[in-house]
Each structure stands twice: as C-alpha cells, then as structure tokens.
Amino acid sequence: MLLVSKKITILLFLLITGITSTVANAIDNKRTFCVFDLIGKQGDVFSMMEDYRLEALKWNVDLKLKPYTDEKIAAEDLKSGKCDAAIMTGLRGRSFNEFVGTLDSIGSVPSYDHMEQVLKLLLSSKLTKYMTSGDYEVVGVSPAGAAYLFTNDRKVNSVAKMSGKKIAVLDFDKAQPYMVASIGASPVNATIATFGPMFNNGSVDIIAAPAMAYGPLELYKGLGENGGIANFAIAQLSLQMIIRKDRFPKEFGQQSRKYVWTQYNRAISLIEGNTESINPEYWMSISEKDQEGYSELLRQTRISLRDQGIYNGKMLKFLAKVRCKLDATLSECTAPDKE
C-alpha cells in the first residue's frame, strides 16, 4: 500500500514538473523577429510573417514581430542582438551567410522553374550544414521575384548599347558596381528607397528591379513613352530568414525551412500578380541568341566575383548543377571553366 502511494507521488511529481517545464519552455522561448518590409507592418512580407509566427508556436517559440522599413537597420539590430532573428533580402543576407546569400547572384537562376528546384533542394540534409555560418542560421528562403532591367530608352536593347549609360546600383552590394563597370556603363550609388525615384526623375537611365516595385514606385513614369523592360531575369531576388542560432531550439531551423517551402506557391502567385500588372507594351523580348550571350557574360562575371570573394563558390557550383540538370545542352555544362 505504501509502495503504491509512493509510486503515485512520484508520478504526480513527474507530471507536475513535466507540466511546469513545458510552460517554462513556452515562456522562455519568447523571441524578437525583425521583419524588413519596405512598406512596413501593412506590407506583404509582414503579413506573411504573421502566418509564420503561428507556425513557430507549434515549434514552441513565441515570436514578437517588429517591422523595419530600413533593411540596413534590421541587419544591424540582428548583429547587435536586438533582434533574435530577421528577414531581409538575400543581397543583404550575404553578410550573414555567404552560401545562401549567393542565391541572389546575377544570372544564376534564370527562371522560376529553376528557383523552385533550387529551394526544394536546399531542404536536402546534405546541404543542411551550409545553412549555418558562425552564429547565424538561415531558416527559410522565399522568392521575391526576378529582377529585370528597366531602361528609359528601348533602343538600348543590348549590353553593347549600355556603354556610357548611368545605371543605379545598390550601395551595399559589391557585385553590382563591378558588373556595371565591366560593361562600360557608369554605376550610380542608390538605396532600395532611392533607386525608383532616381529612375523616374532621370538621374539614372537604367535600373534593375523586380515586378513588385513597378506599381508602388510608379516605374512607368521613368519608362515613359520610349522605355522598356528586358524580358530576361538578371537575378532572382529572395527573402531570407536568419536566426541567431543559440537563441532558438535545435530543431527550429529545419522545421522552419520545411514550412517556408510550403509557402512557395503563395509567394509565386503574388509575384505573378505583380508581373501581370506591368503594362505589356513595355516588355522587350530578347532573342535566344542574345540570351545565350548574356548568360555567358553573367557567368564570366560570377566567376570573377567568386574569385574576388564576393560570391560563394559552392553555391555557384550548386546552381550550375541545377541549370545543367534542367537543360544539359547549355554550353556552360561542358565549358572547361565550370563554376
């Protein structure tokens, strides 16, 4: 009788401590997630993150979302520890994880089909180790749309004709001024907040922008009657979710990456909606021959940027494998200087 009573007491003790520790975990795992959305709390990214927040509760982490309209400050706050996690563009995210940040490299992901395959493969356990770099781990990548070249003069329909033109470059991405200078054009420093107005008021002749910028920034004003948009993805932009690894449970990263992947179609449908909102008359088709030429030009630039330590070689190699898997006839697949 005494033994049974003792067992019950132990069981009760275990039960109570178990419950207490579960509650304590839920309370302990309150974390600040800094969300870069150019529009702010009312924007698409923040809305997407509200859904993410609910999922994170299932992984026993209670996220407090904080909107940032300046990506630079969000990145700085992640570095200083004010944010336990942050979502930002891959261009900015490269300083936290060179491998995943190289996803946004020029010309390496030519289409959304490629993007889909790339993001699916990034879930592979073979690549998990590359998700972590120092104190940081990338816990999700969402497509933000292809970047296209917008020009105020549709006669500038080839790389050769871009020589001497003023092209806006994002001041923190070292790859952009290099690329612009290498084709003989003049790079003009800009930020995410200023590149649209600079194009619209004629301070620059050419910008690279995703379709989602077309409406809110009224880029049709800069395009005017003579402008055009080259129907050729110069890069695939992405949004990357980065955490301070020690602030989250061990399994959080993979759980998060899996969930973010399930949201791929939702993100693509938003991108497609934005792309369809562009006046069709602005699209300039690029001949297949020219496309091949540009792809090679971009590839050579990537190799050069890799050698300068700006792009991550492993990621470039991985992306090249995806391109060649989807189209084995590409000349780069048999080139001696493969990425």
Partner 1 sequence: MCVSYLSQRIIRPIVMLATLISVSGCSTIYSLAGNGASKYGQDVMMPYLLTTKDFPLACATGESLTSVIASFGQYTTSVNQLSVLTNMVGGLCVHTQAQKAHLNFLRLAKMNHIAAAQDARIQSKRLHTIAAGRQYKAYQALHSNFGEFGEECPMFSDDYEQLVWILGTVSAVQAVLSDTAGGGEVGVPKNLAPKAIRAAACLDTPRGNIAWWGLPKAIKALLSSILPGAGEEGVDQWEQMAIASKIGDKSGVRISRALMAIGAENAGKIDLLKSLIRDQANSISNTASNRDFVLLDAVATDMIIGLSDSLWTAETGHRTPHGSFGTFWDDAQDDTGLDIDFGDF
Contacts of 211 (CB under 8 A, 6+ apart): 145, 146, 148, 271, 274, 275, 277, 278
CB of 23 to partner 1, least distance (A): 10
Q: Pairing between strand 228-230 and 136-151?
A: antiparallel
249 contacts partner 1 (rule: CB under 8 A): no
270 contacts partner 1 (rule: CB under 8 A): yes
How far does CA 130 lie from the centroid of its chain?
A: 16
CB of 134 to partner 1, least distance (A): 27
Dist CA 79 CA 48 (whole Å):
23
281 contacts partner 1 (rule: CB under 8 A): no
**Cβ closer to partner 1: 15 or 26?**
26
Dist CA 208 CA 176 (whole Å):
10
20 contacts partner 1 (rule: CB under 8 A): no
Encoding tokens for residue 34?
């800094």
Among residue numbers 48 through 107, which ones bind partner 1 (CB under 8 A)?
A: 50-51, 53-54, 57-58, 66-69
* Binding segment (CB under 8 A) for partner 1, from list 113-121, 142-150, 171-179, 217-225: 217-225
**Cβ closer to partner 1: 103 or 209?**
209
264 contacts partner 1 (rule: CB under 8 A): no
Among residue numbers 165 through 194, which ones bind partner 1 (CB under 8 A)?
A: 192-194
16 contacts partner 1 (rule: CB under 8 A): no
39 contacts partner 1 (rule: CB under 8 A): yes
- Would you tell me which residues interact with partner 1 (CB under 8 A)? 26, 38-44, 47, 50-51, 53-54, 57-58, 66-69, 192-194, 196-198, 215-218, 220, 266, 270, 273-274, 277
